[in-house]
């Protein structure tokens, strides 16, 4: 099977010119790919052509990331705003049913989309996107300190990591050296080139500070999973200082029938275990979202 081409397009979403990548047949079953922090749709550049023979894959650059520009006067850089934006993106493209890939911050936006219209969700693929506070890893510590005391001093401590080196640390993380060398430096150099100029870093600090609001959503998200039981594939890289193995296994509390696969990788699993993820997704989506 040869890889299919990926198209690069824009669409107006609530007055914001939004860049997105698309692959696959226009009438194919949709797979929605909201990206994580501090990346963009670029993180799905290899996944999309590998699945585009059967599925229509859509990966937007969310405001302030990648090629979607939005200043703070027109976009507030809160989790509520991003969740609303993702919903409006689906409306702008006329999407009626979709599987959602839930990763990092994108898991928050995607789950809120699912809660808002559960009848449209065909399936979930969860990859290092956490909703269980008791399973948060040690890397959350400085963020939680800031959430508890959002003083200028605490904000400054986190802002210091909104840098090219800080982005590198996010991508390389805690994976062993033999795995880390497979993670392309293009990830952090491109991300920083796109958001590193003012007011980009300040907008990202605002978003990181607002991350504290996600915790109050966890019970609702867990309740959604219990009530609606969407077909779910959990693929996880346990070398993750934010979301270790326990964060993956916690999903079985609310989705005991979910398929769980722990792969030898970290937070950015598509960079190091792409073939395994593609194989698992093809099998899973072929059964539940053909």
Q: And the tokens for 25?
A: 């047949």
Does any domain span residue 219?
A: yes
Please give the average per-residue pLDDT across 10-14, as a whole number: 97
pLDDT(1) > 70: no
Q: And the tokens for 42?
A: 């670029």
What is the β-pairing status of strands 6-13 and 16-23? Answer: antiparallel
- pLDDT, one tens digit per residue, over 257-276 is 999 999 999 999 999 999 99
Does any domain span residue 105?
A: yes
For residue 113, the domain's CATH number is 3.40.50.1820
Does any domain span residue 116?
A: yes
DSSP assignment string, 49-118: HHHTTTSEEEEEPPTTSTT----TTT---SHHHHHHHHHHHHHHTT--SEEEEE-HHHHHHHHHHHHH-G
Does any domain span residue 94?
A: yes
Does any domain span residue 52?
A: yes
- pLDDT, one tens digit per residue, over 133-192 is 999 999 999 999 889 988 888 888 889 999 999 999 999 989 999 999 999 999 999 999
Does any domain span residue 43?
A: yes
CA-to-CA dists, residue 247 to 14, 196, 251, angstroms: 34, 31, 7
Domain of 248 in residue numbering reads as: 6-138+214-288
- pLDDT, one tens digit per residue, over 76-111 is 999 999 999 999 999 999 999 999 999 999 999 999
Please give the average per-residue pLDDT across 234-238, as a whole number: 98
pLDDT(64) > 80: yes
At 41 the pLDDT is 98
Please provide the average confidence, as pLDDT, over all residues in the chain: 96
Q: And the tokens for 259?
A: 């398929």
Count of domains in the chain? Answer: 1
- Rounded to 5°, the CA angle 195-274-129 comes to 60
Does any domain span residue 179?
A: no
Does any domain span residue 205?
A: no
Percent of the chain at pLDDT above 70? 99
Nearest by Cα to 288 from 259, 262, 249, 255: 259
């Amino acid at each position: 099977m040869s890889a299919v081409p990926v198209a690069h397009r824009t669409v107006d979403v609530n007055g914001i010119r939004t860049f997105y990548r698309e692959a696959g047949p226009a009438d194919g079953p949709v797979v929605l790919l909201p990206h994580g922090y501090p990346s963009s749709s670029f993180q799905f550049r290899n996944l999309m052509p590998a699945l585009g023979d059967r599925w229509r894959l859509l990966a937007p650059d969310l405001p302030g990331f990648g090629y979607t520009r939005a200043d703070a006067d027109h976009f507030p850089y809160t989790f509520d705003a991003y969740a609303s934006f993702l919903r409006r993106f689906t409306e702008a493209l006329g999407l009626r049913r979709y599987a959602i890939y839930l990763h990092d911050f994108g898991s928050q936006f995607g789950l809120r989309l699912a809660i808002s219209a559960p009848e449209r969700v065909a399936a979930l693929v969860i990859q290092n996107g956490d909703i269980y506070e008791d399973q948060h890893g040690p890397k959350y510590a400085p963020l939680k300190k800031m959430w508890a005391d959002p003083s200028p001093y605490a904000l400054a401590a986190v802002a210091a990591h909104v840098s090219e080196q800080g982005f590198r640390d996010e991508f390389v993380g805690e994976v062993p050296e033999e795995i880390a060398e497979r993670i392309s430096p293009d990830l952090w150099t491109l991300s920083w080139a796109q958001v590193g100029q003012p007011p980009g870093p300040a907008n990202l600090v605002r978003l990181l500070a607002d991350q504290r609001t996600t915790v109050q959503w966890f019970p609702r998200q867990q309740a959604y999973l219990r009530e609606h039981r969407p077909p779910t594939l959990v693929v996880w890289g346990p070398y993750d200082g934010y979301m270790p193995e326990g964060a993956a296994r916690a999903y079985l509390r609310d989705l005991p029938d979910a398929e769980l696969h722990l792969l030898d990788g970290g937070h950015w699993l598509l960079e190091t275990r792409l073939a395994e993820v593609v194989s698992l997704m093809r099998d899973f989506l072929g059964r539940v979202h053909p």
